Amino acid sequence: MRLVLDIFTVLAVSAGAFFFLAGTVGLIRFPDALTRLHALTKVDNLGLGLVVLGLLPQANGLFGALKLVTIWLLVQLSGAIVTQLIAGTVRQHGPRE
Amino acid sequence: MNSPDERDGPEELSPDRPVALGSAIFRSIGFFGFWLVLTGADPSDLAAGLVAAFAATWASLRLMPTQPWDLRPIKLAGYVSHFLRQSITAGIDVAWLALDPRLRLRPGFVVYQAQLPPGTTREAFCAIMSLMPGTLPCGQAEGNGLTIHCLDVTQPVAEQLAVEEALCVQALRGVPRNG
């Protein structure tokens, strides 16, 4: 059972790392600030979600697991809000060079 | 389909004491639970946690007054699972675009006429939209419109958003009454 959970952790965290990599590639390759925001919010949220999911079986009891999920929720919330603020500012004033 | 009867009663006009007290208790339990999670329920931190939960409840009632929420747990659970599937699709979709050697982006703005009036539910819908595939709200447009930045403007973005908005309203019904 332990082995199955460990394999699950390795697979999920690796998948999460892959999405973080893809998000960073998007950040570098996408042409402007707004398209880069898409890359950061969407791909990195999925990456973090997979890392958290993978770490849940290794968590230190119920509170440890809840703490991991809380981190993911807080990052989702702040990502969703900050992205809109940056996008609104870029649309009004244009990107800073 | 019927809304709870007290929302159509006179209580809606006067400050609704029982609802406010109930939501104060509910929120303080939530904040204290959050504190327990953050500190690992360390007994030496409990007193500070109680003070922090009380202060957070006071601030939240000031910043976000009580509203008559009418949540349906089953619908909400269904919506959460829909949202998780959509955010997985969004991540895969953008990762695919980023790693595609040809970089097939058609970015641009779309104005979407929202049905929701300005208020908490619309803010929530905007936050959800920013985690959905291909859309990123970036401010108001004329009328009741929202300016949406899209990675691919050839997609039927407005139609998809109308479907999403209807789902969101169904799950969070009872809130869009502040317009």
Tokens 């029982």, residue located = B18
Residues of A in contact with B103 (CB under 8 A): 29-30
Per-residue confidence (pLDDT) for residue B73, from 0 to 100: 78
pTM: 0.79
Q: Which of B127, B128, B149 sits opposite A87 (nearest CB)?
A: B149
Q: How many helices (H) and strands (E) does chain A have?
A: 4, 0
Residue-wise pLDDT tens for chain B (179 aa)? 344 443 444 444 445 566 678 888 889 999 999 998 888 878 888 899 999 999 999 999 888 877 766 667 788 888 889 988 988 988 898 899 899 888 888 888 888 888 888 877 888 888 888 888 888 888 887 777 888 888 888 888 888 888 888 888 888 765 444 43
Identify from B32, B81, B87, B94 which residue to disrupt to test chain A contact, counting A C-beta atoms within 10 A and taking the largest count: B94
Contact assignment for A35 to B38 by CB distance below 8 Å: no
Q: Could you give the dihedral angle defined by the CA atoms of residues A56, A57, A58 and A61, in that order, rounded to the nearest 10 degrees? A: 80
**Encoding tokens for residue A16?**
């999460």
Contact assignment for B127 to A84 by CB distance below 8 Å: yes
Per-residue confidence (pLDDT) for residue B68, from 0 to 100: 66
**Encoding tokens for residue B2?**
């019927």
DSSP label at residue A39: I
Residues of A in contact with B147 (CB under 8 A): 91
Q: Considering Cα of A30, then A34, then A36, then A38, what sign does the dihedral take?
A: negative
Q: Are the C-beta atoms of residues B74 and B116 closer than 8 Å to each other?
A: no
Q: Which residue of B has its CA nearest to A24?
A: B98
Query: What digits encode the pLDDT tens for the residues B9-32?
Result: 444 444 556 667 888 888 999 999
Separation of alpha carbons B30 and B151, rounded Å? 38
| Domain ranges within chain B, ordered by starting residue | 11-63, 73-171
Tokens 């500190």, residue located = B39
| Domain ranges within chain A, ordered by starting residue | 2-93
Residue B57, SS3 per DSSP: helix
Residues in A whose CB is inside 8 Å of some CB of B read 18-19, 22-23, 25-26, 29-32, 34-35, 37-39, 41-43, 45-47, 49, 63-64, 66-67, 70, 76-77, 79-81, 83-84, 87-88, 90-92
